[in-house]
Amino acid sequence: MKNKSLIESFNNAINGIIYAIRNERNMKIHIVAAVVVLLLSLFYDLNKEELLIVCLVVALVLVCELFNTAVELLVDIIIDVYHPKAKVIKDVAAGAVMVSAFFSLVAAYFIFFDRVGSDLEIGIVRIRQAPMHITAIALVITSVIVVALKAHSRTGTPFHGGMPSGHAAIAFAITTSIALWTDNVKITILCLVISLLLIQSRLEGKIHTVIESLAGAAIGFLTALLLFQIFYTVR
């Protein structure tokens, strides 16, 4: 059946990713490795080409693992008993994942090997002096936490409803980042009012409960606050 809307398409796609993460051990490992590599990339002095290679390699491994999961499920549906060719199909799909993972290790060696020491220190200083990078990291981490909690609670969809409220989390992560970044009371109050109006709209639309909205706001606030406390230094 075709998806009725663009939001439904996104929800179904993310639900597929969540299924793979929840049910496939290797997918959990790949996700953790991908998050670690992408976060560490922010600490290193990578040029645009190198950063693009890192992103492509990470995406390649994840895509191969998703296809591997889909192939395994499809084979299990078609053939419910042991069959030599079914085993070959699964082995070939797993082989594709292994090739992509091996290539990612090769790429990581050439890109990161000479940067482990000095560039890491330079990257930390750079992030400390650039609050917009900390804000971006806070938004990414907040989004990951929200999706993970929704998957764990099995409520709502990644973009609609459920525990906690993703809109509230993102709004308060942005508000907290702006407050800590600018030290401007007027701008902070304006952002806070907009965030509260957003929460009110979610409550009036009966998309979220008060507890879900407060939980989302707390996640966004604490995530941004923690990252700024760790990384941000005033120039």
| Among 205, 204, 220, residue whose Cα is nearest residue 141 | 220
Q: Report d(CA 223, CA 219) in Å as an integer.
A: 6
Indicate if 65 belongs to the active site. yes
Single-letter amino acid code for the residue at 149: L
Instruction: Tell me which amino acid residue 158 is.
Output: P
Quick one: how many helices (H) and strands (E) in the chain?
A: 9, 0
AA identity, residue 137: I
Catalytic pick among 8, 49, 50, 65 = 65
Chain mean position to CA 56: 15
- Residue 204 to residue 213: CA distance in whole angstroms: 12
Q: Tokens at residue 110, please?
A: 């050439």
- State the catalytic residues: 65
